[in-house]
Amino acid sequence: MWEINEQGLPGTGKVSVEQMGELLQLSDLCIGAYIDGKLVGFVLCLYPKKDYSSQNYAWFNERYNQFIYVDRIAISTQHRDKKIGSELYERVFQLATKKQIPITAEVSLRPPNEGSDRFHLRHGFSSVGEFHQSGKSVTMYIRE
């Protein structure tokens, strides 16, 4: 997972191996995509009010009572553009529909991540704001 996350930088957000393990333990939903038994992508999601230090996650917690937060979705470099990300998100959509809660995510605005913006807009997300931090800005997305 950590190696795939590294391949997605800066969009996925840098974490150490230990931090990835902690995030995995904290996650309410972790789905992996496998080809021939090898992990090629994953999505990690959290429900509200977790003890998680992400300022982006906190932004959603301040504004919404219920949601499933996509902390990161990453696909290995050699397996991109094969709809694996869409398949992973489809599983998140199914859970959100079952629980009748929105899905939240953010995409880097500075530096820009135009591919991820297109991906989220194509999958029914809409912008609900921007969040500016020191040296970084993100577009905040929600899918009702």
User: What pLDDT is stored for residue 102 in this prediction?
Assistant: 98
Q: Taking residues 46-75, what's their average pLDDT? A: 96
Count CB neighbours of 37 within 10 A.
5
Contacts of 14 (CB under 8 A, 6+ apart): 6
pLDDT band, residue 133 (cuts 50/70/90): confident
112: which DSSP letter?
T
Strands in 23-135 per DSSP E: 29-35, 38-46, 68-75, 103-110, 126-133
The whole-angstrom separation of Cα 70 and Cα 42 is 11
User: What pLDDT is stored for residue 12 in this prediction?
Assistant: 80
Taking only the tens place, the pLDDT of each residue in 81-115 is 899 999 999 999 999 999 999 999 999 998 888 88
Percentage above 90 pLDDT, the chain? 84
The residue written with tokens 């992990």 in the block is: 39
Architecture in CATH for domain 2-143: 3-Layer(aba) Sandwich (3.40)
Written as six digits, the tokens of 92 are 């998140």
pLDDT band, residue 134 (cuts 50/70/90): confident
